[in-house]
Amino acid sequence: TAGKVAPEDIEPLSKKSFPLCMRNLHETLRQEHHLRHGGRMQYGLFLKGIGLQLEDALRFWRSEFTKMMDGDKFDKSYSYNIRHNYGKEGKRTDYTPYSCMKVIMTNAPAAGDHHGCPFRHTDPELLKQRLQGYRVNSAGVQEIVDLVKGGHYQLACTKYFEITHNVDDAGFGLNHPNQYFEESQKVLN
Ligand code: SF4
């Protein structure tokens, strides 16, 4: 299904076609040059799902992490995990990217974590600010926040999709971050 994505494609794609959960993880990685385990799993498997190949994934994560640590430490402590996600280590299971339900319902982020679903796990005031920062107009922000308050996280995410893609009706039932990405690419390409 997914085409091939190169490391240098990720930054522009993150702005246009990533759902908020993944855009948030990407921006955090770029700012802090690090993500904790939950974030590496959620984001790493998503990137695999959009078509980032193993060797490119290693290059991508290495280039960020080595802004903060030497390459040796990265190779020893982190590359195993990435290879593992691609089924190259351990039980050689080919791990699949997390669904919205998994992100929303399990492994809630603690302080200092950046994984999870922003519609479910981010403080509503902070969420509002972030949406405004992404140029969602105030009516749109209000609609999204109302859906969040009703516990309709995936509908809130769908509303964000509709606003940022300038469509009245997304026309799909959102259940997976990679589905969000693919639907976005359909609209934009
Ligand atoms: Fe990500 Fe799904 Fe939450 Fe949207 S609803 S931000 S795709 S986990």
Indicate the DSSP class of residue 67: T
Greater pLDDT, 87 or 104 = 104
Confidence class for position 93, pLDDT limits 50, 70, 90: low
Phi, psi of 98 (to 5 degrees): -75, 140
Distance CA 179, CA 8 (A): 21
Predicted TM-score (pTM) of the model is 0.95
Instruction: Provide mean pLDDT across the span 6-17.
Output: 97
Q: How far is the CA of 70 from the centre of ligand 1 (A)?
A: 33
ipTM: 0.99
| HSE-CB for 11 with a 13 A CA cutoff | 7
Specify the residue with its C-alpha closest to ligand 1, atom 4. Answer: 157
Give ligand 1 pocket residues (Cβ under 6 A): 19-21, 100, 103-104, 117-119, 153-154, 157, 177, 180
Residue 173: its H or E element = none
Residue 68, C-beta contacts closer than 8 angstroms, at least 6 positions apart: 32, 33, 34
Q: Which of 17, 18, 20, 175 to probe ligand 1 with, by most ligand atoms within 8 A of CB?
A: 20
Closest CA to 50 of 118, 2, 99: 2
Tell me how many degrees the CA angle 24-162-145 measures, rounded to the nearest 5. 65
pLDDT over 50 at 1, yes or no: no
Average pLDDT score over the chain: 95
The pLDDT of 139-156, averaged and rounded, is 97
Q: Whose CA is nearest to atom 5 of ligand 1?
A: 154
Nearest-angstrom CA–CA distance, 15 and 32? 18
- Of ligand 1's listed atoms, the one at least distance from the Cα of 118 is 6
Q: Of 49, 14, 19, whose CA–CA distance to 120 is shortest?
A: 19
Distance 78 CA to ligand 1 centre (A): 25
Other CB atoms within 10 Å distance of the CB of residue 35: 23
